[in-house]
Amino acid sequence: MADLYFIGQNALSDWYDANNWSNSNTGTAGNSVPKTPADTAYVYLAPTFQLSSKTLKLKGLVLSSARGEAKLQLFTGTKRSVVVIANKLILAEKFSPLGKNRITVIDGSKFIISGKTGNAVIGQGGFGRVELIDSVFKTAKTLIIGKLKKSQGIVTSNHSRVQAANVFLGWDPGAVGEFRQGQNAITDIRGNFQIGFGGTGVVVLQGGEMTVTPSWAQDGSVYLGNSVGAKGVLLVHAGTLSAKQIIVGGDLSRSPGGTGWLMIGSQSKAQVNSGVWVKAGGHVYVGPKGVLRAGCGKNDDLINNGSIENDGKIFLGGIVKGNAITGNGYVGPCP
């Protein structure tokens, strides 16, 4: 088992050059290269690594530049590039106003956090970003985007597949997490999706499919603005989102929650398949091109303790409980 620290130059660097690594942050060069499942790589400077046609297996990776931008780029050469991490991935371990950290995965490459305890944190204390283009990003456990106060995490997915057990955007008060999905992308969350857990979370769907399904410990729900002071925004501009239920402005308890916004189909055709509970701090808008299928069973009621404006279509098998729905759209039984 080895903890290895990058001590090379803030420039395009060779990951596999032992002169770039040391067994301490201020040690001498020429130590082993982090490339085995027993190794954890720590990068506190601002190099650019480009891995092409490589498979890199690590115990952990901490990418946390204090000044400048640390970059890890996965490209495809004669075969796909793959990074497999068994334990942890952390981007931006501590807050630094001058530091940025980025992972780019493109052209069929894969980034996988595979262990039973493996978690990924994009923006733990500072700024972290993951960009996916025609690629795969998978974590066996939790994905946190924006964890601590002042942190900011961003994940963008285009023509790619993302899979995680549970996802949190904006973990602590003052943290910001953002997830943007483009065309032909698929996101598969097997657990719960917390958009604005204690801080601020923003999700923008511009296409593709997103599904949130139950796991052995979680019920497959989406929460917008879980706790008091939290803010959650879900903009389904195009594509399809399916979940067991969406809680807008809180959690499943009767306690006050945060502020939540759900917008569907204001720009292009978009559909949400999910039960909906709009709490006092919640707001929903179904646009002219939007469809909300809130359940087709006779007991699938829509609970509105906040506000719902509908200029599109809302299908439900039960009734609307609470405040009336405003707008000029259709509200009625499923076809």
Give the pLDDT confidence of 263-274 residue by residue, as tens digits: 999 889 999 999
171 within 8 A of 147, measured Cβ to Cβ: yes
Cα(254)–Cα(229) distance, integer angstroms: 16
- Which residue(s) pair with 275 in the sheet? 245
Section 207-225 average pLDDT = 93
316 by Cβ neighbours in 10 Å (0-12 / 13-18 / 19+) ranks as buried
pTM above 0.85, yes or no: yes
The confidence band for 186, taking pLDDT boundaries of 50, 70 and 90, is very high
Residue 299 has a CB neighbour count (10 Å cut-off) of 8
pLDDT at 1: 58
pLDDT at 46: 96
Residue environment code for 199-228, b if the CB has 16+ CB neighbours within 10 A, otherwise e? bbbbbbbbbbebbbeeeeebebbbbbbbbe
Q: Where are the domains of the chain?
A: 45-163
The confidence band for 298, taking pLDDT boundaries of 50, 70 and 90, is confident
Helix, strand, coil percent content, the chain, rounded in steps of 5: 0, 55, 45
Dihedral-angle region of residue 107 (phi above 0 means left; psi in -120 to 50 means alpha; beta otherwise): left
253 by Cβ neighbours in 10 Å (0-12 / 13-18 / 19+) ranks as exposed
